[in-house]
Amino acid sequence: MWNVISRISIVNKSSSVILTTHSMEEAEALSSRMAIQVDGTLQCIGTTQEIKHKFGKGYEVEIKVQKTSVEELKNIAKKAGLEST
């Protein structure tokens, strides 16, 4: 779908594409301008850089977890009362 949207916006300069997403990365990759809507109300509109500069004060967290074995998962399910019969 990204290729289709990208092709439409690059090839036909007189067209507009409206994409709704919760992913800032997706919006950045496919858009030259974006808008943010909260509870049905438009909060801001601008380029990616403008929006990041004004509202981009946040944190990025990276979490690494170990794989859980099937036996460990069964024990967790049993303790939680989710054991299947």
Q: Is the dihedral of CA 10, 12, 15, 17 positive or negative?
A: negative
Count of domains for the chain: 1
Assigned domain for 22 exists: yes
List, for residues 56-83, the tens digit of each pLDDT value: 777 778 889 888 899 998 998 889 888 7
Task: Provide the pLDDT for residue 16.
Answer: 76
Task: State how far the Cα of 46 lies from the Cα of 32, in Å rounded to an integer.
Answer: 9
69 in a domain, yes or no?
no
Residue 45 lies in a domain: yes
pLDDT of residue 65: 87
Domain that holds residue 45: 2-58
> Residue 51 class from Cβ within 10 Å (0-12 exposed, 13-18 middle, 19+ buried)?
buried
- What are the E-state strand segments in the chain? 34-38, 41-46
* pLDDT, tens digit, 9 for 90 and up, residues 18-45: 888 888 888 888 888 888 888 989 888 9
